[in-house]
């Protein structure tokens, strides 16, 4: 049996499409993520690796002065964490899980970004513990506006 070129291409494209459907973010985010992080931070490296594994195109900027980065992007002080990223026009601060990023890109709310303040144990990049519990906050473009809970991470039952 001989496969014609058109049938081969159709099958290849269908397979690629099915592969992308399994990827957590690839279809939702045609853009790239730019991550600003301390070059010596291991948890930032783990989170970055998780973003790449999810199918995002990642550009990394190693920065020795992360305070300047936080000020440049106007990250609210109570939302600060170890690394700052930009994804499709949104700020992503700290160890934001993939589920929250999928929700953000699907809903496209009118916010400045998402944050997981501090470095919660068990969060993505901080041990990836399925029993971890923490909040992902949305913060506003309006200076001084109170953050709201965007997504809750809770242990699987």
In the chain, where are the structural domains located?
A: 5-153
At 26, the pLDDT band (50, 70, 90 cuts) reads: very low
- At residue 156, the pLDDT reads 78
Kindly give, in sequence order, each residue whose CB lies less than 8 Å from that of residue 104, ignoring residues fewer than 6 positions away.
Answer: 87, 90, 114, 150
pLDDT single digits (tens) 123-143? 999 998 989 999 999 999 998
């Amino acid at each position: 049996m001989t496969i014609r070129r058109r049938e081969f291409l159709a099958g290849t494209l269908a397979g690629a499409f099915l592969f992308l459907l399994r990827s957590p973010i690839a279809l939702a985010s045609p853009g790239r993520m730019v991550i600003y992080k301390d070059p010596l931070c291991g948890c930032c490296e783990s989170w970055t690796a998780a973003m790449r594994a999810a199918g995002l195109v990642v550009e990394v900027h190693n920065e020795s002065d992360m305070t300047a980065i936080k000020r440049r992007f106007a990250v609210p002080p109570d939302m600060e964490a170890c690394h700052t990223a930009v994804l499709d026009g949104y700020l992503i601060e700290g160890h934001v899980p993939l589920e929250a990023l999928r929700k953000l890109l699907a809903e496209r709310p009118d916010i400045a970004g998402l944050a997981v303040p501090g470095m919660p144990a068990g969060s993505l990049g901080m041990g990836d513990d399925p029993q971890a519990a923490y909040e992902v906050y949305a913060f506003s473009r309006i200076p001084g506006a109170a953050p709201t809970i965007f997504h809750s991470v809770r242990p699987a039952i």
